[in-house]
Amino acid sequence: MSDDAEGLIDLHWMFDMLHHIDVGLVVLDKDYKVQLWNSFMENHSGVSSSIAKQQSLFSLFPDLNTGWLHQKLDNVFGLSTPIFIAWEQRPHLFPFKSYRPITSIADKMYQNVAIRPISSPDGKAKHLCMVVYDVTDVATNKIALTTLNDKLSS
């Protein structure tokens, strides 16, 4: 097998893995337009990657806190440094429903979000990657534990 064929096979399985990993992956350009939207994002948002691609993240989700998120994204681009948004700071960035609506106490999915710059060959950050983690189980367990501790201490 040629090096080119092996390279294509490697590229195919890496793309397949990124598309099906159990975290949300979104790549945005400097105009906040979606370049990559994996199946986690499709499944939880109801928006297919073919519709999301080249759309502004803010037009796909008009209820996002635009000013706050613009500042976060602009800092990642400007400083070429990653940031992390914890569920304790903001329970969810994207308004996704909880996986377990019957057994969970949460209506919405609690999320941690990592936003990282993606460097181009010239070393400049022209894209960023948002990684969305579902932390609903951890968050609801911590909330329940805090509630019980508060009841015990009163």
CB 76 within 8 A of CB 63: no
Query: How many other C-beta atoms are found inside a 10 Å radius of the C-beta of residue 120?
Result: 10
The DSSP secondary-structure symbol of 103 reads T
pLDDT in tens, the chain (154 residues): 667 666 656 555 566 666 667 899 999 999 999 999 999 999 999 999 999 999 999 999 999 999 999 999 999 999 999 999 999 999 999 999 987 655 567 889 999 999 999 998 888 899 999 999 999 988 888 888 887 877 788 7
pTM: predicted TM-score of the whole model, two decimal places: 0.84
- Domains detected in the chain: 3-153 (3.30.450.20)
Instruction: Starting at the earlier edge strand, list the strands of the sheet with 125-134.
Output: 34-37, 24-29, 125-134, 111-119, 83-85
